[in-house]
Amino acid sequence: MAITASSSASETTVLVEPAAPILDVIWHRLVSRRTVLYWLAIWLSGMLTWDYYTHIEAPAIEKRISMHHDIVIGNAPYQYRYRVLVPYTAEAVARLMQKVPPLRLRPIVKPLSYSKRAFALSYGLLNMTALSVLLGSLGELLWELFSYDLALFGISLSAFLINFTFRDHYFHPWSLWEGAFFAFGLLLIYRQQYWLFTGVNILGLMNRETSLFLLLAFLLYVLPLEKSKEALVKALRNRNVRFAVGNLIIWGIGFLVLHRTVGYQPSTFFVQAALRGNHGHLGYALLLNLLLFGFVSPLILKGVLVSPSLVRRSSMMLPAYFGLLLVIGYWWEIRYWITVIPIVVPALIAAIAGGSLRKSHDLAEFPASPERMKSAA
């Protein structure tokens, strides 16, 4: 028996020792800084997704189903019909989910070919994915621009701000993806991963036409500060500028193709309606905007001035963005702010840090390099 026990203990030791390095590697992966960053992003995205469902989606589920169906079959009014990315994807996901037994047993919701639960779950999955991309990409960008600790703070701050926008609309799923594409796009611009950025450009166009402002931010970042004819001619030979201009051309062609493919439908929204609505809700709109960013606007402006060049120069597109919203937007729908959170939050962090925590490579005009990207890992 002693020999057997000794032999068994020896076998156990032999089995455990080789496994120890593997377990050690797994543990270090689980507690690595990048894993913790994405855990935080996904955790907060899950809570935000549930809040979005309970505050926005569930109370207006019938209206959401109607709008979704109109977009998918091509009957939506002009201002919605070309925002096809999320509704078409949600339609495909819901059809797949309906094949899962627990969902298949539930009744079909006319005119849809799947259950209400499949509909809600498909949008929930897309919403959580968008929020995870937004917070994860912004965290990566803040890590590279400032520091790891400020990246975690920026993710948490962004989630808090996004949650405040969950009000006063019932079907604008593209707003979450606008922020996601903007954050991911800025990260790709900073890393000079321009071919991937072109894919984001195409997806962003199919999501919502305001993706044009991401391209404007790209162009403002890479254009030379000097605006003489010689400087501009020289800039056109620069790879960064060529990619920015090329993506603008791709966006323009894609815009025409998308409208041609989907087809025309008369608009049911006019500027006069926005003006009347804003006049009637002026006090409420001012309160919401003051609470979200108005009270800290001096801090944001200060932060823009001391931010790394990507944030500082990209922020030059904000007047055009807000100018458009002042004319055609409902001012109390503060979901519009989600799009610019990837610029506003870094500016706030720069103001808090006083610009002192910027990494030295951020002072260069185009600092991205394979070595720097590896060091961030």
Query: Cis omega (within 30 of 0) on the bond before 173?
Result: no
Three-state DSSP class for 370? Answer: helix
**Total of domains in the chain:** 1
DSSP lists the bridge partners of residue 108 as 115
Residue-number span of the structural domain to which 115 is assigned: 38-376
Cα angle at 91 between 88 and 96, to 5 degrees? 130
- Residue 28 belongs to a domain: no
DSSP lists the bridge partners of residue 14 as none
Tell me if 341 sits within 8 A of 163, measured CB to CB.
no
- Residue 316 belongs to a domain: yes
- Residue 20 belongs to a domain: no
**Residue 95: C-alpha distances to residues 100, 113, 185 (Å):** 10, 7, 30
**What's the predicted TM-score (pTM) here?**
0.86
- Residue 24 belongs to a domain: no
- Residue 165 belongs to a domain: yes
Tell me if 50 sits within 8 A of 56, measured CB to CB.
no
Residues whose CB falls within 8 Å of the CB of residue 270, separated by 6 or more in sequence, listed in order: none
- Residue 94 belongs to a domain: yes
- Residue 32 belongs to a domain: no
Query: Can you give the pLDDT of all 377 residues of the chain as single tens digits?
Result: 444 444 444 444 444 455 667 877 776 677 788 999 999 999 999 999 999 999 999 999 999 999 999 999 999 988 899 999 999 999 999 999 999 888 888 888 888 899 999 999 999 999 999 999 999 999 999 999 999 999 999 999 999 999 999 999 999 999 999 999 999 999 999 999 999 999 999 999 999 999 999 999 999 999 887 777 777 777 777 889 999 999 999 999 999 999 999 988 777 777 888 889 999 999 999 999 999 999 999 999 999 999 999 999 999 999 999 999 988 889 999 999 999 999 999 999 999 887 455 454 444 445 444 434 444 44
Dihedral Cα 124, 287, 157, 317, nearest 10 deg: 90
- Residue 236 belongs to a domain: yes
